[in-house]
Amino acid sequence: MNAMNQSLYIEPLTPEAFSAYGDIIDASGEPTSMINNGMCARYNNRARLDFDSSGQAGISIFEGQPYSLPHTVSLVERHPLGSQAFIPMSNAPFLVVVASDNEGTPTAPKAFLTQRQQGVNIHRNVWHGVLTPLHTAARFAVIDWIGERVNLEEFVFHNPWVVELHA
Amino acid sequence: MNAMNQSLYIEPLTPEAFSAYGDIIDASGEPTSMINNGMCARYNNRARLDFDSSGQAGISIFEGQPYSLPHTVSLVERHPLGSQAFIPMSNAPFLVVVASDNEGTPTAPKAFLTQRQQGVNIHRNVWHGVLTPLHTAARFAVIDWIGERVNLEEFVFHNPWVVELHA
């Protein structure tokens, strides 16, 4: 039997829709505090970082080549040893695909599109697509688990998902 | 006796010049690895993160109002409980002022200017100026120690430093 594509439509990236998978890292709401003599607003602790004690948090740079829509997702991955945050260092939005887990199998994927100057933190062991900047190459700071153990699990969909902008 | 200003000239932000104070977080050199089927270059673990075990790493957002040159630095601060990384989420460069320590007194300050899409990680307990975006307001992701203890020490210079672009 041939593989059949399945459509996946982008939905708004809201805390309500995303909280089961991760955190939105942005400056929404009121600042937690004003610092530096009023010159800087601090929005404190926007991500649930969670790293296995066999390694530690690190900051890496990812330089991602662009994708375009519609975008076919045939593979998702997850990181059993830690959360993974993506901080865009340019203004380009990026696509965020996540999925629930059903006994080791990713299920019910969802697709979101960030706004400019908005990052995300994928929670530990949550299925997600690879880094997907749209239209232009983009640089990200990535805060994830660094250590010696294997921190990657991949899953290939028999029927790939095709992410599209509108239903 | 009145306070007298002292000039401080901006020098190039190089790993050699900055390594005593912190890390430059950028994509210089060869990628550590190519991931995502060749679509993404990973520059691994660019910052020496160091957090006191009484708290943990967190990601916060700083929205900083702009400063302009010449810029007077009368106060520096340091964080005894952890490193502090500044990841720019826009293309604006920012000023980085650091200083050595002499038995609790900041000494021999230095001023650097980042390039676009370049972050810095200030090492634990290193004296530094407050976040200083130039010309336009700018958003940063800040990775620093989050916890209940006091993590701030400040020092006010009797003779402020004036950061200028050229000698």
**How far apart (Å, rounded) are the C-alpha atoms in residues B52 and B60?**
17
The verdict on B20 touching A (C-beta cutoff 8 Å) is no
**How far apart (Å, rounded) are the C-alpha atoms in residues A99 and A91?**
26
Is A1 a residue whose pLDDT tops 80? no
Flag if A49 and B58 touch (Cβ within 8 Å): yes
State residue A3's pLDDT score: 73
Flag if A63 and B46 touch (Cβ within 8 Å): no
Per-residue pLDDT band at A90 (split at 50, 70, 90): very high
Q: How far is B75 from chain A (nearest CA, A)?
A: 10
Is B1 a residue whose pLDDT tops 70? no
The verdict on B53 touching A (C-beta cutoff 8 Å) is no
Q: pLDDT tens digits for A18-75?
A: 999 999 999 999 999 999 999 999 999 999 999 999 999 999 999 999 999 999 999 9
The reply to whether the predicted model has a pTM over 0.90 is yes
Q: pLDDT tens digits for B56-78?
A: 999 999 999 999 999 999 999 99
* Angle, alpha carbons B47-A121-A43 (nearest 5°): 80
Read off the pLDDT of each residue in B140-149 and give the average, rounded to a whole number. Answer: 98
State residue B3's pLDDT score: 73
* Full DSSP string of A83-151: -EEEEESSS--EEEEEEEEETTEEEEEEEEEPPTT-EEEEPTT-EEPPPEEBSS-EEEEEEEEESSS--
Where in chain A are the domains?
A: 6-164
**CATH of the domain spanning B6-164, picked from 3.10.580.10, 2.60.120.480, 3.40.50.720, 2.60.120.10:** 2.60.120.480
Q: pLDDT tens digits for A112-157?
A: 999 999 999 999 999 999 999 998 999 999 999 999 999 999 999 9
What is the three-state SS of A6-41? EEEEEECCCHHHHCCCEEEECCCCCCCEEECCCCEE
ipTM over 0.85: yes
**How far apart (Å, rounded) are the C-alpha atoms in residues A24 and A18?**
8
Looking at every residue in chain B, the average pLDDT score rounds to 96
State residue A92's pLDDT score: 83
Chain A residues touching residue B46 (CB < 8 angstroms): 59-61
The verdict on B133 touching A (C-beta cutoff 8 Å) is no
Nearest to A59 among B46, B60, B91 (CB): B46
* Short-list A87, A154, A126, A78, CA closest to B46: A87
The verdict on A57 touching B (C-beta cutoff 8 Å) is yes
**How far apart (Å, rounded) are the C-alpha atoms in residues A145 and A137?**
24
Share above pLDDT 90 across residues of chain B, in percent, rounded to a whole number: 94
Per-residue pLDDT band at B2 (split at 50, 70, 90): low
* Short-list A53, A65, A50, CA closest to A143: A50
The DSSP letter of residue B17 is H
The verdict on B121 touching A (C-beta cutoff 8 Å) is yes
* Short-list A140, A99, A137, A98, CA closest to A117: A140
